[in-house]
Structure 1
Amino acid sequence: MDLSRAELVGEGMEGTVYRLGRGLIGKVWRERGVDELRPLVDFYRELAAQGLPFATPLIVEVAERDGRACTVERELPGTPLSDAGLAPAAAHDAVVAVVTALAATTAGPATRALPVLNERIADRPVLPELVRRRGAAFRPVLAASVPGFDALLARLLAVLDAGPGGEPAAPAAGERIVHGDICPPNILVDTAGRPTALLDWGLLTTAGDNAFDAATAAAFFDMYGPEAAAHHEALAGRLAETLGYDRRWLLAQLAGYAVAGACVYDPAGRDGHFAWCVEVLGQADVRAALAD
C-alpha cells in the first residue's frame, strides 16, 4: 500500500486513515497487529452477507508496513449524521432505521469470535459476563463514585441473567449482530437523511441482544448537550415501540453498558465518559428498573 500520494483523511482512535482513490481507503493501525486483524476481516465478510440496507466496512487487503499493520478497505459513502444538519426528528429516524435493520441480522461464528472491550468471552449471553468481569476489575473507582455500587451491581446482574421479562436468554442461534457504538458520527447518511453506511465496528461489537443497541443508541444520540434527556426519552420510546422492547429491559441494558464501559477510556475514571456512566447509574429511572 503506497501512501506517499494518498490523501490524509484523519486520525482516529485506532489509527491513521488515508483516501487511496478508486473507492478505497487505507488505514495504518496504531496498536493492532496483522494477526489481530484477521478476526475483524472474517467478521466484516460475515457482516457484508447480512444484506443490510446500508454499507458496512470491508477489508480487501491486510499488510505490514514499517512494522505496523495496514489495511485497504472500501470507502463508505455519505455524511456523518452529526454533520448532516438534519432536524431532530429526521436524525432520530436515521437512528431508528439503523437499529431496526440490525435487529434482522443473524450473528455467526465470526461475530462470536470477536473480543469485546478486549475481553474474550465465550459465555452466552455476553453482556452479563462482561459486566461481571469489569464490575469486579474496576470496583474501587466505581464504588467510590456510585452510591451503593455493590448492591446495584448485584441487582443488575440478577436482572441481566434473568433476561427480558424474567425469561431465560435466547439461545446463541437467536443472537443478533450488535454494533455497540451507534452514535451520530458513526452513521453516514445521504442528502435525504437516509442511512448509507455504519462505521466503527469492533470495540463493543458482539453477538447478542439487539436491545443493547437500542438502549445505547438512544443514550448516545446526545450525551452531553442541554437536550440530551429529551432526545434519549424520545428515541428510547420510539425504539421500544418499533421493536417491542420493554423499557425496563432497555434501561437494564444501558446500565450494563455504564458499568462495563465506564473505565474504557481512563481506568482511573478521570474523564467525562466515566462521569456520564456514573450519572446513568444514578438516574432514578435506571434505579427503578433494577429494583425488586
Structure 2
Amino acid sequence: MNLSPEIEAILHKFQVQPDALLGHGGEAFVFALDNGRILRIAHAGTSQQDLIDRAALLSELAPGAAQLPFAIPAVLEIHQIDNRVLTIEPRLPGRPLPDVLLETGGSARANLIRAYLDAAAGLGDLSLHRPWYGEIRRDNAIRTAVFADYLVQRAAAGLQAGGAAFRRIDPQQLAAALPTPDQPEFVHLDAFAGNMLAADGKITAVLDFGAVCLMGDRRLDPLTAAIYLTPAITPSATDDDRAVAQAWLVEHDLDVWFEPAQRWIAAFWAFAHNDKALFEWCQSILLA
C-alpha cells in the first residue's frame, strides 16, 4: 500500500516500519508500535478534538467493558504532528474476524458466527446514560426526545445525501416499521465482522467506536450484525453463515425486525458514495 508522505513521516518519528500496518478503515490507519501498543493515525481532516471526544467516550464505557467477555479500545496518548492527529493505544488480542472466518469451517465456523452475534448483542451492556436519543459524538448530531423521531431524521439525511434515486423512499415508513425502546441505550451501529477480532473460536475485541455510535435501541446491534453478513459488506461470509445468523435471530425473537432494520440501515448508509459496494447494496435494498 502506498502511504502518504505525512504518514511516512509519522512512522519515521516513531521508528515504525510501513510493514507494521495492521489495517485501515474509515477512520484511521493502524500500525503495530510494539508487542503491546498500536499507533492509530487518523485520516486527514480529523481534528484533535475528535480524538479527545473519542477518548472520553471510551473512558466512559470502560467500566462496563470490564464486565464483557471481549475488549474494547482505550487511549493512552494523543499526539498531533503537523496536520495529522494520532493516538497510542493498547494492542487488543486476536485477528480480524473476516480473516479467521476464511480459515474456519464446519461447526467451529457456525459457533464463531454465533459468537459474533452474541458480541454485537452484548454491546448494549455498555452502560452509558444520556437524556436523549441520537448520535453521541457525530458532527451535526441528530438528537431527539423520541427514538422514532431520530430514526426518521437520520434516514431522511442519508436518503437525501444518497441522491435523486432515493427521492421516493419515505423515511417515516422506514422508522414506523421498527420497535421503540423503553429508554436510550448504547448502540455501536458498526459492529460488522471487520470491526471485530477473534481467536480460539471467540470474539476477543470490538473496534471502531466511531461517529455512528448512538443512544438508541440496543437491538439494532445484533440486527445490523446479521444484516452486515451480506457479501457486499462481508465478502468472507457465506450463505451458511447467514442461515446461522437468521437462526440466532429467531432464537432471540429478533427475526421479525430483520427486514425493517435492513431497510432503515440501508437508508442510513445511503450517503456512502465513496464505498461502491456498500452504496450499491443500499440501492439493491431500497430500490428493488
Query: One fold, TM greater than 0.5?
Result: yes
Residue pair 2:96, 2:195 contacting (<8 A) in 1 also? yes
1:86-97 aligned at under 5 Å gives the runs: 86-87=104-105, 88-97=109-118
The structural deviation recorded for 1:203 is: 3.8
Once the 2 structures are TM-superposed, how far is the Cα of residue 128 of structure 1 from its aligned partner?
3.1
Q: TM-score when scaled to structure 1?
A: 0.78
**Cα deviations by residue, 1:108-148 (Å, 9 ceiling, x for unpaired):** 349966334x44122142433211332344351324xxxxx
Gaps of 5+ in 1: 144-148, 284-292
CA contact under 8 A between 1:45 and 1:58: conserved in structure 2? Answer: yes
CA contact under 8 A between 1:128 and 1:256: conserved in structure 2? no
Q: What letter corresponds to residue 122 of structure 2 in structure 1?
A: A
- Percent identity, aligned pairs only, is 25
Q: Does residue 171 in structure 1 map to residue 149 in structure 2?
A: no
Alignment match of 2:241 (pick from 226, 231, 235): 231
Determine if the alignment matches structure 1 residue 62 to structure 2 residue 78: yes
The gaps in structure 2 that reach 5 residues or longer are 1-9
Instruction: Evaluate the alpha carbon distance shift between residue 226 and residue 86 of structure 1 in structure 2; reply closer, same or farther with a 3 A threshold.
Output: closer
| Residues 110, 244 of structure 2: 8 Å contact kept | no
- CA shift in 2, pair 1:4/1:113, >3 Å: same
Which of 32, 40, 53 in structure 2 is aligned with 1:27?
Answer: 40
Alignment of 1:52 onto 2:68: yes
Deviation at 1:83, TM superposition (A): 1.1
Change (3 A) 1:62 1:250: same
Question: How many positions carry a matched residue from both structures?
Answer: 261
- Distance of 1:11 and 1:222 partners within structure 2: 21
Cα contact 1:59–1:72 (8 A) shared by 2 = yes
TM-aligned CA deviation for residue 75 of structure 1: 0.8
Query: CA-to-partner distance for each residue in 1:241-261, whole Å, 9 max, x for gaps?
Result: 23x32x232321221110110
State the Cα distance separating 1:194 from its structure 2 match: 0.7
* Residues 1:77 and 2:93 aligned together: yes
Partners in 2 of 1:32 and 1:199 — Cα distance? 18
The answer to whether the aligner puts 1:98 opposite 2:110 as a matched pair is no
Cα shift at 1:29 = 1.5
Shift of 1:23: 1.1
> Could you tell me whether the CA contact under 8 Å between 1:189 and 1:196 is conserved in 2?
yes
Distance 2:269 2:60 in 1: 26
CA contact under 8 A between 1:212 and 1:250: conserved in structure 2?
no
| 1:16-49 CA-partner distances (Å, limit 9, x unpaired) | 3222225111122122111122211111112221
Cα–Cα, structure 1 residues 184 and 171, in superposed 2: closer, same or farther, change >3 Å?
A: closer
Q: Distance in 1 between matches of 2:28 and 2:97?
A: 22
Match of 2:171 in 1: 153
2:25 to 5, 9, 12: 12
* Distance verdict in 2 for CA 1:154–1:127, change over 3 Å: closer
- What RMSD, in angstroms, separates the aligned Cα atoms of the two structures? 2.8
Equivalences for residues 135-284 of structure 1 within 5 A: 135-143=159-167, 149-150=168-169, 152-160=170-178, 164=179, 168-172=180-184, 175=185, 177-190=186-199, 192-224=200-232, 228=238, 230-242=240-252, 244-245=253-254, 247-266=255-274, 271-282=276-287
> Which of 39, 55, 61 is the matching residue for 2:53?
39
The SS at the match of 2:219 is: helix
The 3 A distance-change label for structure 1 pair 102 and 13 is closer
- Secondary structure of the residue that 1:90 maps to in structure 2? helix
Deviation track 1:64-120 (CA, whole Å, cap 9, x = no partner) reads 11221121111111011111122231231221221232233333349966334x441
TM-aligned CA distance change 1:103 to 1:13, over 3 Å? closer
Say if 1:222 and 1:231, in contact at 8 Å, map to a contact too.
no
- For normalisation by structure 2, the TM-score amounts to 0.79
Whether the 8 Å CA contact 1:130–1:260 is kept in 2: the answer is yes
